[in-house]
Structure 1
């Protein structure tokens, strides 16, 4: 591809870029998708090439043309200098945190963070000598008051993957950078299509590609993208772990990438329709969806996001666990399970109270998280109406 064409591609809108990024058909005899390169050993033509590592690929853990295609595509889409692939979203979280911390460092973690993030921080990260502190996700620029001389990392997750708080990421980033700290974003809910993390001040951005990137509930993969300041250190940490990802998984993720913009747009439309409908149900106390004007973080969402994904939460009126089980167990189109972002709709009862430490989770009723898939909205509403109707007889 010529430099002129490369320059043109960078000016493309995101919906077009997801179909074009990471592709070089004429490097592969004209085939539009890169082939799957499986391998560990890579041969060198000469001793000089071996000693100087003067070729693009040197060993399987350092990448293949298949994994490199996904890394390059994601860097373009996220506005990053470099991206590395990991075997899962949680592996991406761990890699990013280990890149930005060291023994004796202090890390600030949003209290609304994904629970496995907390398990990693309270276990392995603390065992490695990092002092972990949780903060109110709504603190905004006030996070400056929590900074210490040894603070090296601030992790944001906006919105929170269950409780849906929208963070003032630019304000947090400004405060963190003033103290020399790295800002790490778990951007899985929005993806770079809906929230450009590096434009908003984040140094490292995590994506559980398992979810919207993969899109079909059949793949585990993570990505960490970095800006110019942190790209070299991220790549060095990645290389030290030998954390290679399967080229087969990278190929599936590339396939998912090509339709991600369309799927996100449809799932945004369907989820907002259902969220608005649920607001008027008598069994529902509140709907936690950032795109609804009733959401406390709606104005921040309008300012910083380009749209909403298909994930939101609902607070029911105060009913028993048995009643909630009657609603959920009888749903026909909503699977009960973790994750989100696939073609299928999911529901997950949750309670953050047991692991919040900086804030208090005490809603007026039980909570459900929904991930809206690609089913017909009328069918999903019919299934939910029948399920909520069971509250009256349970």
Structure 2
């Protein structure tokens, strides 16, 4: 087997690219996987090379072969001009904002955004003299009406965090690029396999690699891909100046997890849809928020722009007490209660986003639960939830 350049990899389908990208057995002593390289200091053979910084790697903070392998793999998957890795999904959301904004600028953020991203905008960006405004995620091209003279960027997240609104990304990109604004997108839910962000004109494509990319709930990592060489240069400079680096072990585990991304997503999409339809038929459920369902308000846009759905969705229960929801969730055997998702295990998490929305109102008739469907047997998951609903009814 030989090493393939990014350009050569484009002739393969994504399943094959996921297997090949970031691998070079000739550079790894013949081993299939690149080794874990740790270290800070890089030695130069002579003074001339050192003065010219003539080396593949200059210092530990500029990367190493393990990190480069994952960067190559992610960039092949994203189809961008370049990619950087950061220690968390949250930093994947915040670093490109720092790369494209300056004091005095204004950025637009969807009201359905991941809450830690909102907190970063309301605290750190504000302290830096950068103004953030929140907009209705369903506003589409009318987002142009919110542009100010100092607007420089629009952040998107589709589907929205917790509530799963599907944004009209092509319309937003068209409006933004007409004013030379930068478009950023948190594409963690769909991954590049189910939504090709750069093909739709998104300038910075963001993934919390912690989720589906790594896939095993044992890594914290984030990825950012840039659409053009100019955008990548700004991103890379910001990354280098801040000195943010992922651990080699985390890069290795994420690269290993990425090899099975396609097959895991296919299984979890199938299970997610079956579980969503089963919950839709339950008498205790008022609504299921999942774009892959024909009845979902975002289904038409999802069908137009996406090629698949991950297994993360939410439900709104009919009015019931907090105690009954606790009885349901606390007794579950197969669903853990945790804030992450994208791993092999199923999760169930209660939430209420009404307190921190500012541009829209979340009017749920009852309590909300977010589900992530893992790789367990679907019939076992149904039985676990059915028993949970019995506890809910018994304590309502």
TM-score (norm 1): 0.98
Match of 2:124 in 1: 124
Match of 1:359 in 2: 360
The answer on whether the counterparts of 2:6 and 2:72 sit within 8 Å (CA) in structure 1 is: no
Q: Distance in 1 between matches of 2:390 and 2:129?
A: 51
Correspondence 1:275 to 2:250: no
Shift in Å at residue 149 of structure 1? 2.0
Match of 1:82 in 2: 82
The answer on whether the counterparts of 2:154 and 2:182 sit within 8 Å (CA) in structure 1 is: yes
The answer on whether the counterparts of 1:106 and 1:131 sit within 8 Å (CA) in structure 2 is: yes
Which stretch shifts more, 136-145 or 17-26?
17-26
Match of 2:288 in 1: 287
Matches within 5 A, 1:300-319: 300-319=301-320
Match of 1:15 in 2: 15
Match of 2:246 in 1: 245
Q: How many residue pairs were aligned? A: 394
Correspondence 1:69 to 2:65: no
Correspondence 1:334 to 2:335: yes
Q: Secondary structure in 1 aligned to 2:349?
A: strand
Shift in Å at residue 355 of structure 1? 0.6
Q: Deviations over 1:46-71 (max 9, x none)?
A: 22211221211000010000000000
The answer on whether the counterparts of 1:80 and 1:227 sit within 8 Å (CA) in structure 2 is: yes
Q: Distance in 1 between matches of 2:318 and 2:257?
A: 38
Q: Distance in 1 between matches of 2:168 and 2:7?
A: 32
Shift in Å at residue 11 of structure 1? 1.3
Q: Deviations over 1:175-194 (max 9, x none)?
A: 11111111000011111111
The answer on whether the counterparts of 1:314 and 1:367 sit within 8 Å (CA) in structure 2 is: yes
Q: Secondary structure in 1 aligned to 2:259?
A: helix
The answer on whether the counterparts of 1:149 and 1:179 sit within 8 Å (CA) in structure 2 is: no
Q: Deviations over 1:324-377 (max 9, x none)?
A: 111111111000110100111001100110110000011111110000000000
Q: Distance in 1 between matches of 2:4 and 2:216?
A: 35
Q: Deviations over 1:99-148 (max 9, x none)?
A: 11110000000100000001111000111110000000000001111111
Which stretch shifts more, 39-48 or 62-71?
39-48
Match of 2:105 in 1: 105
Q: Secondary structure in 1 aligned to 2:50?
A: helix
Match of 2:256 in 1: 255
Match of 1:143 in 2: 143
Q: Distance in 1 between matches of 2:220 and 2:203?
A: 24
Q: Secondary structure in 2 aligned to 1:73?
A: helix
The unaligned stretches of length 5 or more in structure 2 are none
Provide the aligned C-alpha RMSD in A.
1.2
Q: Distance in 1 between matches of 2:70 and 2:271?
A: 28
Match of 1:345 in 2: 346
Q: Distance in 2 between matches of 1:41 and 1:154?
A: 39
Match of 2:50 in 1: 50
Shift in Å at residue 26 of structure 1? 1.1
Could you list the structure 1 runs, at least 4 aligned residues long, displaced by more than 2 angstroms after superposition: 1-9
Matches within 5 A, 1:170-249: 170-228=170-228, 229-249=230-250
Note closer, same or farther for the CA distance 1:258–1:180 as it changes in structure 2 (3 Å cut): same
The unaligned stretches of length 5 or more in structure 1 are none
Note closer, same or farther for the CA distance 1:215–1:5 as it changes in structure 2 (3 Å cut): closer
TM-score (norm 2): 0.97
Note closer, same or farther for the CA distance 1:359–1:6 as it changes in structure 2 (3 Å cut): closer
